[in-house]
Chains A and B, each alone.
Chain A
Amino acid sequence: MPAHLVLDHIEKEDPMPTFEDPANDADEAQTALRALAHATRSIDDPREIYSVLGSLTAAAASLSQSLHQLAAFHDGAVKNGVWAAGDSRAGRAAAYQVSSELHRAGETLHQVAGAIAHAHHAEAQITYTHSKLPTFAEAPQRDTSRGISL
């Protein structure tokens, strides 16, 4: 599907976050990121990259925050008292395992955000000039009557 059709799809969706339905918000985020991957397949103008990288730095930071928050729930699942991830020893062990993996993913995303921010900073220093594509020089007239020679 061409990128402009994907963009139409994004603009027609409700831009307001629900603030109450994490599963729906996660689904919307995943859809938006898939559309972004599609749109960036054919970026012809490199001047767009700076703006895209700015958004991606914030996006990666938010993703890192979400992962740490989901991990934090499992950190304190037993202590919080409102929700408990099972009351068995195995349940607690599984909860801590989940917490550990999510914190690891969150920390990795933090590194990703840093790398994108570095790229964003480097991109800021570049200016682009628009040039015509080189044209082929006109081939010299050849006299074919004498055959082909090297």
Chain B
Amino acid sequence: VNEESEATHECHDGCAAAAAARDALCALAHVTGPGADPREVYNILGDLSAAAISLSRTLGHLGDRDRPTRYTPLLNGSEREGRSAEFQVSAALRRASDFFGTARGAIDDAREGVEQLTYVQDYGLTIRRLHLVDRGGGK
């Protein structure tokens, strides 16, 4: 058995791709708040539905520990405990992957609902609000 130092380990493709996905979803969360144009919701939900499929696949890949590998998992110096912990990780990831079926179904249903909606900019209500502000702060 050749021990390999943790310090020499560098994360490559998977880590960089995961960081890019994290940043992209963080950016999306910033722009979907108040002030977003609701007419874009239909297209956004289409992308999010596809995103859910990709995330589910990713979790499935990460949870698959049956592939042959040159690495042995250890926990407290024990391979048996290491394998047990690895199994726990795998089970949690498969459970998370299964959730995506529900999430994607809900997103698709919402998208169908959005298709029936017509969004209009309601200037009338905006003007009434301004009027109320004027009256409240008037002399």
Contact = CB atoms under 8 A, between A and B. Distances in A.
A15 B54 CA distance: 20
Interface in B65-97: 65, 69-75, 82, 85-86, 88-89, 92-93, 95-96
Nearest to A65: B29
Interface residues of B, number: 89
A16 B15 CA distance: 18
Interface of B: 1-4, 6, 9, 11-34, 36-38, 40-41, 43-45, 47-48, 50-52, 54-55, 57-59, 61-62, 65, 69-75, 82, 85-86, 88-89, 92-93, 95-96, 99-100, 102-104, 106-107, 109-110, 113-114, 116-122, 125-126, 128-129
Contacts of B62: 40, 43, 49, 52-53
B74 to A, nearest CB: 5
Contacts of A131: 1-2, 70-72
B100 A59 contact: no
Given A7-B13, A69-B29, A87-B120, A119 B93 contact: yes
Given A4-B13, A91-B117, A119-B96, 8 more contacts: A7-B16, A15-B20, A18-B31, A28-B28, A29-B24, A29-B51, A85-B119, A130-B70
Interface string A103-145: 0110011011001101100110111111111000000000000
A98 B27 CA distance: 23
A132 B20 CA distance: 33
Given A33-B55, A108-B102, A17 B3 contact: no
A119 B14 contact: no
A74 B58 CA distance: 31
Contact of B110 (A32, A102, A108): A102
Contact of B44 (A23, A85, A109, A125): A23
Nearest to B36: A22
Contacts of A17: 23-24, 26-28, 30-31
A124 B76 CA distance: 12
Contacts of B96: 60, 111-112, 115-116, 119
Q: Which of A22, A51, A118 gathers the greatest number of chain B CB atoms within 10 Å?
A: A22
